Structure 1
């Protein structure tokens, strides 16, 4: 691509939007929640325990119901996942992460929509990613409007 005055100006404006996002309340909340999570010893202990159990869980998943520890490991995994989800700093971090992701998705959709309604914007949600437009071969007989 040959750099033109117009492309340089567009890139400068994109940098400006990036700076606005980094300085947003949402981004500050995310960084604060991430820092708080990193300093929370209880949460870090749960995360380490989850990582260790995940290795065992994946081994059990290879054999499914036939593995002798299937029920035990599945129960432990559910309990630990519940403990992770209800731990305050982890829940706050996940909430802030989701809000920042939504902000980035909204910005990407605004940019894409300003160019064309047919531009596919990855949202991180397969339901909405597939709704925007079909690239063909969806098997619905064309009822989705694809060609």
Structure 2
């Protein structure tokens, strides 16, 4: 006698289902949630910018109190891009590791510019050691390591 298979049989059978999200370390998962929220805040600040008098934005040494200034637009775009990358990593999109690598490179480049170039150009900004470079470098290395395994899952 044959057993009748159901459409829900795949849920009853326990198999070795590997998730792409399991490739991410806990510290990256923690920052994903922060940047998911940051991406939403960046989008809201762009939409509600004309109605808001003052909003403090800061990332990688760039500070702004107005979303519709050059630094404010750069920051909002960075937060939105980081939110998109966080979404892609959390929901296991195939493009996410490559976007994360680009995100890390952009972050490292901005930190280096804000640390090594801008203090000598602008008298208002003094030299600061950007400690964000440490997690950005670790993020870049981790994303490069898991990129191929992410695609194969």
Structure 2 length normalisation: TM-score?
0.29
Q: Which structure would you say has the larger Rg?
A: 1
